[in-house]
Chains A and B, each alone.
Chain A
Amino acid sequence: MIEVNKLVKRFDGFAALDGAALTVPDGSVYGLVGPNGAGKSTLIRHLTGIYRQDEGAILVGGEPVWENPALKARIGSIPDDWYYFLQASIRDMMRFYRSFYPRFSMERYEKLKEVFAIDERRTIRRLSKGMQKQAAFWLTMCCLPDYLILDEPVDGLDPVMRRQVWSLVMSDVAERGTTVLVSSHNLRELEDVCDHVGIMDHGKVLLERSLEQLQDNMVKLQVVFPDGMTEVPPELPVLHASKIGRIHTLIMRMSAEEATERLAQYAPLLVDAVPLTLEEIFIYELGGVNYAVKDIVL
C-alpha cells in the first residue's frame, strides 16, 4: 500500500504540494489525474525518493521511501523524461540497471526483446521518442518491481504499443499483485486500466474514489415526465438537469435502481438510465467545488 499523508513541499516559497494525501491499496491501479502544474510529477518524485518533503509522510508498504535502498529496489518508476547516458545502448543501460536492482530478470529481458522489437545495441539517443519510452518500460519491467510509478507513461506511443504496454502491466498486476500509480491527463485511457482514481490540483488531492464507487453512485437518466409536468420536481436531489424538447437529462448522485425508484412516483413516460463516462463523473462530482474542471478533460 502506498500512503501519502498531508504532504507539503515548497520551492522558493511556492507550495507545489499543499497537504496532498492519497492512498493506493495493494494490487490496485491508481490513476492520478490533474491539470498541468497540479503537482503530479512533484508528488511522484517524492514517491520515488528523489525529493524530500518539507512536511508530511510518505509510506510505501509501511516504510518511508527516503534513503531506503531495500524498499527502492522494489519500486520501479518511469518519469516523463527518462534519462540515459549519452552513448549508451539499451544493452548498456540494462547492465547498469542490473547492478542496482537485485531482482533484475534476464529471462524477462530476453522475452521482452521479442515484444518491443528494438535493437538492443542501438544507441538510445538515435531512437525515436516513442521507442525510447518503450525502452524505459522494457528495462523497468525487468526489475520486477512490486510498486510501479508511472508519469505519463504512454504519452507518445502508438496505439498498438499502448495496448502492448498496458497488457504487460496488467499481466503483472494480475499475476504478481503489483501496485501501480499512473499519472495522466487522459481520463478515457485511464478508465480502462484504473480501479482507483484521484484528482489533483494546486498541490492537493481534491477527491479520490474507487472506480466502483464512482460508477455506482452516479447515474444519468433520460426522463420524459407525463403531460402536465414541464419542470423537474424540486424535491428531487439532482446534480445537474438539462432539457431538450420534452426529454429531461438528469444527473443524480445515487445508484440507477434507486433513481428509477424515486422517479417512479412521478409516473414518467420514459426513464432510461445511461452510464456515465469517467469524464462526466468528474465534471459533475467536482461541479460543487466551483472548479474549472474543463482543464482536466482532453
Chain B
Amino acid sequence: MQSKTSSSELRPHACFNAGLFRRDLSRFWPLWAVYAAVWLLALPMTQFAQLFGNSAQHFTAPQLAGNAIQSMMSISCDLGVWGGAIFGCMFAMALFSYLCSPRAVGMMHAFPIRREGLFWTNFLSGAVVLLAGQVLAFGLTAVMQGAAGILVWKYLLESLAAAAGTMFFFYSFACFCAMFTGQILAIPVFFAALNVLAAGVNYLVQNLLSQFLYGYSASGSPAWVIWLTPVWKLNRTLGVDGPWNDEIQTYEKLSISGLSAVAVYAAAGAALMILALVIYRRRRSEAAGDTVTVCWAKPLFRFGCGLCCGLSLGQLLYELLWTEFRSSGQSSLPAAAACMALAGLVGYYAAEMLLRKSFRVFRTGWKCAAAVAALLILLTVGIRVDAAGVENWVPSADSVASLDFSISGNSGLSGTLTDPESIRKFLSVHQTLIGEKTIQRQRGMENSLSEDTGYEYGYLSLNYTMKNGGCVSRNYSFYYTPEELQNPNSAAARAAALASEPDVQWAGLLNGTDQKTVEQNLTAGEMSWYDGQGNYQSTGFDQKTACTVFAALKKDVKAGRMGSYYFGGGNWQEEVYANNVSLYYSTGEDGRINTVSFQIPTDCTDLVDLLKKSGVDTPAHPLITQAQLDKLNDTGKDGTALSATAAVKG
C-alpha cells in the first residue's frame, strides 16, 4: 500500500529546479524591487519628463527626439556600468548566500539535485531578474517614445544591448568571486578588489618607478591594464556618438560607441560563468564560513595581500618617513626597500589571520612571509638598478601614433604631433636626455641644496599614445648652463633646436586642435597694445581679418621666422613685439571659445605687413618691442600717448 504522491509534475531536472527558482524569486523580492525601481526611474520616468513634461514645450520636435534618445543611450551606458557593478554584486551575494552558512549549505547539498543544477538555477534567477528589469524599463520607454512619435527600434535595441551586456558581465564576475569565499561580506570586497587590481598595482608600480627612475611619470597606462579594469575601460569607450547639427540645434544619427568592447566583456562574462561553475563543483561544503574556499587560491590570497600591501602601505610609509629627510629628487633605496618589506609582512600576516581566523599565525608560515618580504626588496632593488631597462627605453618610431608634448625653458609651448618626422625628432631628444641622466640627477640634487648654482631650468614632457591604445609618458626636468646651449650635442641645445622647428612651433600654436577645425571656426581676434599710461588695452578685428592673420601666421611659422626664444639666447627684447595677438575659434556644441595666441617677432614680415594693412597695427595702437617699451618707460616725460612713429623711431 503506497501513499499517493502528488508531485509527479515536478521531476528533478539535472540542471534546473523550478521550486528553487521560484523560491529565489520570492525570497529576495525587496532586492529585485529596488533594482526594477532604479531602472524605471532612470529610463521611462526621465523619458516621460523629457517628452511630455513642462520643459518639452521649449523644444522643437527634432530637438525632443535628439535629447530623449541621447539621454536614453547615455543613461543605458552609465547605469549598465555602475548599476551592473552594484546590483550584480548584490544579486550574487543574495543568491549564493547559502554557501556561507554551514546549516544552509547542509540542506541544499543534501537535496536530490546536482551541484550544476543548484548553480544554474541560482545563476539563472539573478540573470532573469537583471534582464526582466531592463526589458520592462525599455518596454515602457518604447511605449513613451512611440506615443511621442520618436521611436526608432535601432537606438532602443542598441541601448538595451549595451546595458544588458555590461550588467551580465558584472553579474557573472560577481558570481565568480562568490565561489571563492565562504564569508558573505568578503564577496563585495573581493569583487571590488579584483575590479581595480590591475589599475591599482599598475599605479603603485609606476609610482615606485617614478621615485627612482629619471624622467618616469606615473600617468601612463598600458592598454591591457585598462582592459583589465572594466569600469575604467567601459567608462572610456562606452558613450554616445553623434554629430551636433548646429542648424536645428540637436543631435543627428546617434549611436552608441564601444559596443564592441561590451561584446568582449559579455564574452568574458560567459567564460567567468563557466569558470564559476567549475569552481563550485570543486568547492567543498565544509568551506562555508572560510575566507577563501579553494585551496589553491589561499597562497594566491596570501601573496597577493602581502604584495599589494607592501606596494601601497610601503610607499605611503616611505613617503611619510622620508619626506622629512629627503630633498627633492633624492631617493633612498634602503629606506624604500625596508618600508615595502615591512608593509609586505603586515599584509601577509593580515591575510593569514583572515584565512586561519586566529591571531596566532606568526609561528608557522614565516617562510612564505619572508619570501614576500624578499620579493618586495628584490622589486625595489630591481627598479632602482632599472633591471628592466625602463629608464633607458625609448619607444620605436613605428609604434607611436601621436605625441602630446610640452617643452619649456624660459617660456614654453605644448601641443600634439602626429607626423612621423617630428616624432622622430622628439625621440632623438628623448634619447639624448636619457644619455645625460647621471649628470642631470647630480645637477638636480645640487639645485635643491643651494639657491645659486648657475643652472637654467628646462622641462620636456612627452606623452606618447601608442598605436595599440596604451600610453607612455615621461617628464624630464633638466638643468643647463648657457654655454651648453652652444654645444649642439647637449640635450639642452637639442631641446632648444626642437623648439625652433617650424612644425613643432605650429603644433604648439594649435595646442592639440586640428588645423582645419581652427581655420573653419575662427570667429574674431584681438591684439593687445600698451597705452603709455601703464595699461594694456586691446583692439579687436573681425573674422575675415582673423582668417587672413591665421594664414599669414602659418606662412611665417612654416618659413621658420618665429625664431627661437624659448631657451635663452637671442635678443628677444629687440626682436619680438611685446603685443599679444589672440585669434578666437569655437569648437563643439557647447560653444566653447578657444584661443591661438602668440607674439610676433620683427622678422615676420608677412604678418606685420598684414596687420598694418588691416588696420590693426596703427600709430594709435602700434606694434612695439619690449626694448622700445622699456625705453619709453625710462624716458617718457608725461603720461600722454606717444606717437607710434616717435616711439618706433626712438
Contacts and interface: CB of A to CB of B under 8 A. Distances in A.
> Do A's and B's CB atoms come within 8 Å in the complex?
yes
B220 to A, nearest CB: 45
Interface string A1-34: 0000000000100000000000000000000000
Interface in B351-402: none
A91 B14 CA distance: 25
A137 interface: no
Interface in B1-50: 1, 3-8, 10-12, 14, 17-20, 22-23, 27
B19 A100 contact: yes
Which range contains the number of A residues in contact with the other chain?
35 or more
A144 interface: yes
B110 A99 contact: no
Interface string B102-116: 011111011111110
A107 B284 CA distance: 37
Given A83-B106, A104-B7, A98 B111 contact: no
Interface majority SS (helix, strand, loop, mixed), chain B: helix
A98 B110 contact: no
A36 B114 CA distance: 31
Contacts of A107: 3-4, 6
B5 A105 contact: yes
Interface residues of B, number: 35
A202 interface: no
B285 A51 contact: yes
A125 interface: no
A67 B11 CA distance: 16
Contacts of B1: 175
A108 B284 CA distance: 35
A7 to B, nearest CB: 15
Given A105-B5, A106-B6, A79 B106 contact: yes
Interface string A108-122: 100000000000000
Contacts of B110: 48-50, 72, 75, 77, 79
Interface in A34-70: 45, 48-52, 67, 69-70
Contacts of A96: 19-20, 23
A98 B10 contact: yes
Interface in B87-114: 101, 103-107, 109-114
Contact of A100 (B3, B22, B111): B111
Interface of B: 1, 3-8, 10-12, 14, 17-20, 22-23, 27, 101, 103-107, 109-115, 117, 284-286
Given A11-B286, A73-B12, A87-B27, 15 more contacts: A45-B106, A69-B114, A81-B106, A82-B107, A83-B104, A83-B106, A83-B107, A96-B20, A101-B7, A103-B5, A104-B5, A104-B6, A104-B7, A105-B6, A106-B4
25 contacts: A45-B106, A49-B109, A50-B105, A50-B109, A51-B285, A67-B114, A69-B12, A72-B110, A72-B113, A83-B103, A95-B19, A98-B7, A98-B10, A98-B19, A99-B7, A99-B10, A99-B19, A100-B113, A102-B10, A104-B6, A104-B7, A105-B3, A107-B6, A144-B3, A175-B1
